[in-house]
Amino acid sequence: MRVADPNFNAEHTLALARGASDLGAAVALFPELGISAYSNEDLFHQDVLLDATKAALARVIAESRDLSPVMLVGAPLRFEGKLFNCALVIYRGLLLGIVPKTFLPNYREFYEKRQFNSGRNAVRREVSFLGRTVPFGNDLIFDATNYEDFSIHVEICEDVWTPIPPSTYAALAGATVLTNLSASNITIGKADYRRDLCASQSGKCISAYLYSAAGPGESTTDLAWDGHAIIYENDELLAESQRFSSAEQIVVADLDLERLAQDRMRTTSFNDAVADHRERVSRDPPGPLRI
């Protein structure tokens, strides 16, 4: 990818999505802010970049029409006079919903609150984008109509590094495939912590957990990026990318959704937790999704 070059990034995103489609993938997860790049710093407040990102997203949505996967791509988007770090859920030529990042890191090397608003500051539950009104929020669950127990939730990077990630409530509400678009620069020991974090979240939530971090092309002025992608199912590692690869990669795995449903049914404490958090566990899906 290239920093602040949405056209280039959209082209490579679509090329990878076509490769995933050829493999019969049902979900194609891309890194955080992958259409614009993550390391734009104050360029995020430039109309030229934001307008080019919007135009590139229109192309990605249109060209997804003949592809099999649900595409989860990241981009900065303006709504309500605020700038949000967003994940877009795209499927066969349609934008199904937009998920804003909830927890913005503002410590050590991070200062996302300088550019972005948290999704919790959004006033509306729906937004208008590219001529359509779509659901907007961090608690959206996307249900497949032709695959039982296939329900997708999306969160972004720091969201899973918190004591109670949004995906925890989503799992209690029935989501089985938890996904994370991440940038996540690399520091010593961080890769092992990512593995532990994703393994633990998939195990506690009795779910799949898909994680995709930024790689080559992001600015390396003061950060490094390893392109770490991992897929877990109920605490079991199914697939992992080669870190620091100079080439693009597609990391794939098969998920046993029937196993997850069976395990949840048997685990009485999981359902006790649903009862304990009933006020936070909602099911207001954006509409049926046929995969």
Query: Which two three-digit tokens encode residue 33?
Result: 């802010």
Q: Is residue 281 part of a domain?
A: no
| CATH number where 165 lies | 3.60.110.10
Domain that holds residue 168: 6-276
Which string of b and e fits 70-95 if b means at least 16 CB within 10 Å? bbbbbbbbbbeeebbbbbbbbbbeeb
Is residue 232 within 8 Å of 221, Cβ to Cβ?
no
**Residue-level pLDDT at 260:** 98
Distance CA 249, CA 58 (A): 24
Q: Is residue 197 part of a domain?
A: yes
Q: Known catalytic residue: 109?
A: no
The residue assigned the tokens 């046993």 is 256
Give how many domains the chain has, as a whole number.
Answer: 1
* 53, amino acid identity: T
Pairing of β 132-135 and β 141-143: unpaired
Is residue 25 within 8 Å of 91, Cβ to Cβ?
no
Q: Known catalytic residue: 205?
A: no
DSSP category for residue 216? B
Q: Is residue 283 part of a domain?
A: no
Q: Is residue 236 part of a domain?
A: yes
- Nearest CA-CA partner of 179 in 289, 272, 99, 271: 99
Is residue 128 within 8 Å of 95, Cβ to Cβ?
no
Q: Is residue 284 part of a domain?
A: no
Distance CA 141, CA 89 (A): 10
**Residue-level pLDDT at 290:** 56
Which residue in 86, 157, 198, 205 is the catalytic one? 157
**Residue-level pLDDT at 222:** 85
Pairing of β 94-100 and β 126-129: unpaired
Q: Is residue 164 part of a domain?
A: yes
Q: Is residue 290 part of a domain?
A: no
**Residue-level pLDDT at 289:** 55
**Residue-level pLDDT at 37:** 98
Query: Which two three-digit tokens encode residue 212?
Result: 């995709």
Q: Is residue 238 part of a domain?
A: yes
- Nearest CA-CA partner of 210 in 242, 186, 179: 179
pTM of the model: 0.96
Burial class of residue 32 (count of CB atoms within 10 Å of its CB; 0-12, 13-18, 19+): buried
Instruction: Tell me if residue 174 falls in helix, strand or coil.
Output: coil
- Nearest CA-CA partner of 112 in 102, 122, 121: 102
Phi, psi of 178 (to 5 degrees): -95, 135
Which residue in 63, 101, 112, 158 is the catalytic one? 101
The ranges of the chain with pLDDT < 50 are none
